[in-house]
């Protein structure tokens, strides 16, 4: 069994679908932040069979967790302070997401307009994201 030490302040993201942690690492832009990250892949899980876990040592105020809900709202977010779990964060789908998905509709203005951000708006009834410009729903997996 692999052991990874406790973190002092930050997040432990548990119950990540096996194989998805690397994608999370990029979407949370952890590669651009100065923080220690432990990525545990294919850990055994009673609930899921296999799962990934991410441990992130960082200031808990500075992380934007909204994107996690878009990727997988079953992820458990444990907030760590002084080495202890102080809260479990509920994930809710953000109303609008920017530059996470790319609109794949070839007829959409975002396919040609320079430097136009790819913005998707939550269709709350159906729990899907639609392109702000052409309203095409996204079928992409992150």
Partner 1 sequence: MRHLMSPLDFTTDELDRLFDLANDIENNKSKYAHACDGLKLATCFYEPSTRTRLSFESAMLSLGGSVLGFSDAASSSAAKGESVSDTIRMISCYADICAMRHPKEGAPMVASTHSRIPVINAGDGGHQHPTQTLTDLLTIRSLKGRLSNFTIGLCGDLKFGRTVHSLINALSRYDNITFIFVSPEELKIPEYITDMLKEKDIPYEETISLEEVMPKLDLLYMTRVQRERFFNEEDYVRLKDFYILNKEKMALAKEDMLVLHPLPRVNEISVEVDDDERAVYFKQVQYGVYVRMALILTLLGIDTSKL
Cα 85 from Cα 62, distance rounded (Å): 17
In the complex, least distance from residue 96 CB atom to partner 1, rounded to whole angstroms = 14
Cα 2 from Cα 15, distance rounded (Å): 17
Q: Which listed residue (32, 47, 107, 139) binds partner 1 by CB under 8 A? A: 107
In the complex, least distance from residue 66 CB atom to partner 1, rounded to whole angstroms = 22
139 touches partner 1 (CB under 8 A): no
101 touches partner 1 (CB under 8 A): no
Q: Which listed residue (59, 113, 128, 140) binds partner 1 by CB under 8 A? A: 113
Sequence-separated (6 or more) residues with CB below 8 Å from residue 94: 66, 67, 69, 70, 122
CA-CA-CA-CA dihedral for 90, 91, 92, 93, to nearest 10: 180
Sequence-separated (6 or more) residues with CB below 8 Å from residue 1: none
| Contacts with partner 1, 57-96, as mask; x by CB under 8 A | ----------------------------------------
Cα 44 from Cα 38, distance rounded (Å): 16
Sequence-separated (6 or more) residues with CB below 8 Å from residue 127: 93
| Count of residues interacting with partner 1 (CB under 8 A) | 16
112 touches partner 1 (CB under 8 A): yes
Q: Which range of residues in 11-19, 33-41, 52-60, 133-141 is near partner 1 by CB under 8 A?
A: 133-141
Helix (H, G, I), strand (E, B) or coil at 41: strand
- 3 or 99: CB nearest partner 1: 99
Residues that bind partner 1 (CB under 8 A): 105, 107-114, 116, 131-136
């Amino acid at each position: 069994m692999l052991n990874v030490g406790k973190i002092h302040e930050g997040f432990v993201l548990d119950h990540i679908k096996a194989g998805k942690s690397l994608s999370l690492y990029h979407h949370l832009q952890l590669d651009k932040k100065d923080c220690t990250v432990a990525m545990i892949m294919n850990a055994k899980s009673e609930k899921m069979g296999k799962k990934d876990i991410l441990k992130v040592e960082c200031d808990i105020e500075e992380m934007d967790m909204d994107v996690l809900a878009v990727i997988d709202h079953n992820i458990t977010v444990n907030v760590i302070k002084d080495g202890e779990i102080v809260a479990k964060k509920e994930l809710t789908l953000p109303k609008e997401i920017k530059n996470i998905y790319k609109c794949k509709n070839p007829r959409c203005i975002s396919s040609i307009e320079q430097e136009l951000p790819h913005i998707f708006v939550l269709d709350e009834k159906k729990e899907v994201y639609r392109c702000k410009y052409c309203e095409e729903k996204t079928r992409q997996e992150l």
